[in-house]
Amino acid sequence: MSFLDFRRAILNSLKSLRKNKSRSFLTMLGIIIGVASVILIMSLGAGAQSLILDQVEIFGANLISVTPGKSGKNEPPSSVMGITITTLTYEDYEAILNKSRVPDLTAVAAMANGNSSLSWRENSYDTTLAGATASYPDVYGGEIADGRFFNREEEKNLAKVVVLGSTVKQELFGDSDALGQKIKINKQFFEVIGVMKERGQVMFNDFDNQVFIPVRTAQKLILGINHLNFIAAKVDDSDKIPQAVDDLTALLRDRHDIGDQSGESDDFTVRNAAEAIDLLRTITDALKYFLAVMAALSLLVGGIGIMNIMFISVNERVREIGLRKAVGAKNSNIIWQFLLEAMVLTLVGGLIGILVGVLLSFLASVVVNFLGYSWAFRIPVLAILLAVVTSAAIGLIFGYYPARRASRLSPVEALSYE
């Protein structure tokens, strides 16, 4: 087909589509919805991935985590799956503090978390209970607005002291002074010794909406457990992270009587921040692309609609096809005419879908930022390319059969068609 013929076919396609504006729009609707869904999901996935990774990096790249239970390199910790594993203990934490075994660590913190019901006078509030070691601020940061954080002696002696997040303080005490007050946590009285500065949400964890008590106190008096949820440690130099991971692994294998050095028998998992970031990127990528494929299935429905409309168009224009063939049009000319109509239909629908998807993605980012999250508005180039290529492919695939059928009509039969 020459350039002139191609140009004429495009103009004829646009003319045909303009004749049936309502039908053309309704036909494109499936493509518009499908493409917009793909753009929206890819954009939300990119934004969520950026948010999660940025939140992880807030704690620094020199952070090492120890979680109970074994998980593969590209698998999430067992605790994420809702499985309770009790292999990590406070004694493990104390052994890690031994500089002779793991010399490159600058700070180590252990956590045992749960939920709690708080009350002060007539006020009550349900929140997250963070059983922590005194070294918690050294590892995770956070500043004290009033009072102080509990110390190592209070941690070891099961002291009944509590540090409030800023939201919890406001909910229980309002503008009143909280320091020195006694609050009830699950029917036991604790003295408020500190209030944290407002910090906001990190990794979807609202630091302001929780209370901190010594980890041993949480284990023995509140939660009734002997295990830890996790241990986190900071390394003085990111270049020393691999050695620190090896030292931690060797120490815990010794303590847990694990003779297998291959890692298959480990009942714990040691990861550094870089591995955690890679794992999160793998998980979010897989989820993002899976949802994008599910959304793209709606394009299949749109393609079937286009094929049906093209069949209707062929039946309506039988006499036109016969006349064109009678004056010398080749089968290839007829095929290209209807094929281009289908492709124009899908490409226009795809472009509208891209605009709708971008707009919805922008509105979603505005809403999420309004809710307090730092959400980046991102439209992956891959999503745009995927939308354009998919639209063109659908036009070719679902437009070919009706176009081929039109090209096979006999001129005599077509001209006599009623």
Residue 172 near residue 125, CB atoms below 8 Å:
yes
Q: Give domain status of residue 254, yes or no.
A: yes
Report pLDDT digits (tens) over 134-152. Answer: 999 988 888 899 999 999 9
Q: Give domain status of residue 332, yes or no.
A: yes
Residue 185 near residue 162, CB atoms below 8 Å:
yes
pLDDT for residue 81 is more than 70: no
Q: Give domain status of residue 93, yes or no.
A: yes
pLDDT at 370: 81
pLDDT for residue 156 is more than 60: yes
Specify the pairing of strand 182-185 against strand 161-164. unpaired
Is residue 137 located within the same domain as residue 205? yes
Question: What is the pLDDT averaged over residues 265-289?
Answer: 74
Q: Give domain status of residue 81, yes or no.
A: no
**CB within 8 Å of 417: residues ≥ 6 apart:** 318, 319, 322
Output the pTM of the full model: 0.59
Q: Give domain status of residue 76, yes or no.
A: no
Is residue 139 located within the same domain as residue 118? yes
Question: Rounded to an integer, what distance in angstroms lies between the CA atom of residue 418 and that of residue 416?
Answer: 6
Is residue 285 located within the same domain as residue 175? no
Worst-scoring range by mean pLDDT, 40-54, 284-298, 368-382? Answer: 284-298
Is residue 289 located within the same domain as residue 211? no
Is residue 317 located within the same domain as residue 262? no
Q: Give domain status of residue 61, yes or no.
A: no
Is residue 141 located within the same domain as residue 246? yes
Report pLDDT digits (tens) over 52-68. Answer: 666 665 555 678 888 88
CA dihedral of 176, 182, 185, 186, whole degrees rounded to 10: -130
Is residue 295 located within the same domain as residue 236? no
Structural domain ending residue among the three candidates 266, 292, 317: 266
Is residue 309 located within the same domain as residue 222? no
Which domain does 134 fall in, by range?
Answer: 86-266
pLDDT for residue 105 is more than 70: yes
Amino acid (one-letter) located at 309? I
Q: Where are the alpha helices (DSSP H) in 81-140?
A: 90-96, 136-140
Worst-scoring range by mean pLDDT, 14-18, 105-109, 139-143, 226-230? Answer: 14-18
Structural domain ending residue among the three candidates 241, 266, 291: 266
Amino acid (one-letter) located at 161? V
Is residue 99 located within the same domain as residue 240? yes
Question: What is the pLDDT averaged over residues 200-223?
Answer: 85
Is residue 108 located within the same domain as residue 48? no
Number of domains the chain contains: 2
Question: What is the pLDDT averaged over residues 298-323?
Answer: 69
Residue 214 belongs to what H/E stretch? Answer: strand 210-214
Nearest to 233 by CA among 130, 102, 78, 144: 102
Q: Give domain status of residue 75, yes or no.
A: no
Is residue 156 located within the same domain as residue 226? yes
Q: Give domain status of residue 71, yes or no.
A: no
Report pLDDT digits (tens) over 389-412. Answer: 777 777 777 777 766 776 666 665
Structural domain ending residue among the three candidates 266, 287, 322: 266
Is residue 101 located within the same domain as residue 250? yes
pLDDT for residue 229 is more than 80: yes
